[in-house]
Amino acid sequence: MSQTIKFAYQGSVFEVGPTIEHSAYSSFPGFVQYETGYSYLQIQHNVRLLISWTNLSEQIPAISLAEVKQLGYLVEETCELKIIVAEALIKEYPSRWRQKMGVSWSEWLTRFDEDSTAIGIRADEIVHDGQYGTCLCDGSLYLLDKLDVHPMFRGQRIGLHLCRYVLNVMPKTDSDMIFLLAEPIDSKYENGNSNRITDINRLAEYYVAAGFRYVRVQPDGQILLEASGRDSQIQVNLAYITPGSASAVGIHSRYSAASSM
């Protein structure tokens, strides 16, 4: 992650250190350990990038909460004021849960939604052809479901850094894999859809720069990408990638050709 985030206020730009908040949630009706034929749900992870009001007010002593809101920043008013910078939503499907149910990845994930169904099909391919050794035989399957940067902070490559953070932190073992389907997000932030990336090829190029690998173009036009827990580039490479590099140009051409097939 970048060490600082640019925060514009009253005609000046301040370099502020962010914090990361990671929470996980899942629910189980009943005592699942005593039941048979139970259909396990998923674990939902929410990774948020925040600026604490305490940290901000140390740099800008005369900062006004009302003015910050009026400028368009999103302030979470809990016990401690926080400014929302970005968030990533990740779904986790532990392999041991699938094994307890006695089903394939596709049989389990098809119970959720279309994106999960597509990922389940790819996961079965990986298990059966052994392309990545023992990947997905143990550990967990992760789906990066959404990556959303608040419009007030776009243009700082924050999304790229947050994506790399997710790739670096979520996989716990060499058997873990994380997937995504590149498509324009429907931002939850006010005016969040006004300056988002809508070109599928550019989105895929963006995620490859973060550490994902191209797999294929799906029948619905989405581009499927993946990364494994053993990938060295996501374990150690958290540096910026120069925009317009030769490799990025090649990636864009490849997606354009695949999309027209």
Question: What ranges do the domains of the chain cover?
Answer: 29-47+86-259
pLDDT of 243 over the 50 cut:
no
- Rounded CA-CA distance 254/6 in Å is 34
86, β-bridge pairs:
49, 149
Q: What is the mean pLDDT of residues 93-103?
A: 92
- Rounded CA-CA distance 174/230 in Å is 5
pLDDT-based confidence at 91, cuts 50/70/90?
A: very high
pLDDT of residue 200: 85
24-68 pLDDT, tens digit per residue, is: 998 776 665 555 556 788 999 999 999 999 999 999 999 999 999
Copy the structure tokens of residue 218: 């799906």
pLDDT of residue 257: 36
Under the phi-then-psi rule, with left for phi > 0, alpha for psi from -120 to 50, and beta for the rest, what region is 14? Answer: beta
With 0-12 CB in 10 A as exposed, 13-18 as middle and 19+ as buried, what is 228?
Answer: buried
pLDDT-based confidence at 131, cuts 50/70/90?
A: confident
Under the phi-then-psi rule, with left for phi > 0, alpha for psi from -120 to 50, and beta for the rest, what region is 136? Answer: left
In sequence order, the 6+-apart residues with CB closer than 8 A to the CB of 47 are 20, 21, 22, 87, 88, 89, 90, 162, 165, 166, 169
Counted residue by residue, the chain has a size of 261
**Whether 206 contacts 87, CB under 8 Å:** no
pLDDT of 121 over the 70 cut:
yes
Sign of CA dihedral 73, 195, 157, 144: positive
For the chain, give the mean pLDDT.
84
- Rounded CA-CA distance 170/146 in Å is 14
- Rounded CA-CA distance 27/21 in Å is 20
pLDDT of residue 133: 82
pLDDT of residue 35: 52
At 49, phi and psi to the nearest 5?
-105, 125
What angle do helix axes 246-259 and 200-210 make, rounded to 10 degrees? 140
* CA neighbor of 71 nearest in space, from 188, 187, 159, 190: 190
